[in-house]
Amino acid sequence: MLSGIGPADRLAALGIPVLADLPDVGRNLQDHPATYLVFTHDEPVSLLAAGQERYVRQFEVDGSGPLSSNVPEAGGFVRTRPDLLAPDVQFHVLPVMFVDCALGVPTEHGISFGPCVLRPYSRGEVSLASDDPTAKPRIRCRYYTDASDLSTMLAGVRTALAIARQSALSPYTVRPWAYPASDSDADLTAFVRAHTQSIFHPAGTCAIGPVLDPELRVHGVAGLRVVDASVMPLVPRGNTNAPTVAVAERAADLIRAAASEPALAATGAESP
């Protein structure tokens, strides 16, 4: 958008010369909203102590121990309704308190787990706040603006509560730290609205279709491809890193093929 590719009216309002009027640049923002149940306990088995010197040494010696954890150590996929063809909720389970989108500091041993909405219908937006390239963009996630996302999340939280109440977990769910006041719809909704956070899977704001052609080329702009999670028209039903790598590998193939075409033409060889 700073380069003049995006919604012409908004770019012009910021004094940015318009190169290509593409109103959908920045629209269609999707993410996986997540709501974690967090419990604390006294069992010395969480990642709270992972930074201790002995664990640093252990990791240096043979790559084992708490520092070898990927943190979200377990997970699962759930259909919250039997008529669904594919899971609509994913769980991430972490042997540590998950505080303030992981930016906060755990204070006790803990466990965190909870649902995220895998196929959200709400759509957010990224836009420019100014033409200053050092200014932060405006990012509006607009979670739950489509009511069905909230219903899915409530069903996911109910499943999480059922798991949390299993006797095998009782040594680790001693003190509820982030937990709804009751199982009523009203209290679950209040909990979800107060505790929802991003699970860091933003996608969709330069989607194949309205912004890009199927070979990732920007409509109306020669020599420009987009290669990242923003090209996905729909956020995948799962973590986004591997799908982004897949996009990048496909893009590398497309770029390599395009680069070899003139050379092939010069030799008279047929394009593969």
Q: Which residues lie near ligand FAD (CB under 6 A)?
A: 200-201, 228-229, 239-242, 244
Give the nearer residue to ligand FAD in terms of CB position, either 173 or 244: 244
3-state secondary structure 26-95: CCCEECCEECCEEEEECCCCCHHHCCCHHHHHHHHHHCCCHHHCCCCCEEEEECCCCCCCCCCEEEEEEC
Q: How far is the CB of 248 from ligand FAD (least distance, A)?
A: 7
Other CB atoms within 10 Å distance of the CB of residue 194: 10
Nearest-10 crossing angle of helices 185-195, 147-164: 100
Give the nearer residue to ligand FAD in terms of CB position, either 145 or 239: 239
Q: How far is the CB of 41 from ligand FAD (least distance, A)?
A: 24
Q: Report d(CA 173, CA 42) in Å as an integer.
A: 10
- CB 157 within 8 Å of CB 180: yes
Give the nearer residue to ligand FAD in terms of CB position, either 155 or 211: 211
- 201 catalytically annotated: yes
CA atoms within 13 A on the CB side of 177: 21
Give the nearer residue to ligand FAD in terms of CB position, either 184 or 241: 241
Q: How far is the CB of 35 from ligand FAD (least distance, A)?
A: 17
Which of 32, 92, 109, 201 is flagged as catalytic? 201
Q: How far is the CB of 230 from ligand FAD (least distance, A)?
A: 6
Q: How far is the CB of 225 from ligand FAD (least distance, A)?
A: 13
To which H or E segment does residue 155 belong?
helix 147-164
Three-state DSSP at 194 gives helix
Give the nearer residue to ligand FAD in terms of CB position, either 138 or 175: 138
Tokens 């890009």, located at residue: 212
Give the nearer residue to ligand FAD in terms of CB position, either 173 or 197: 197
Q: How far is the CB of 249 from ligand FAD (least distance, A)?
A: 12
Q: Which residues contact 61 (CB under 8 A, 6 or more apart)?
A: none
Beta bridge pairs of residue 111 = 39
Dihedral (CA of 146, 147, 148, 153) sign: positive
Q: Annotated active-site positions, please?
A: 201
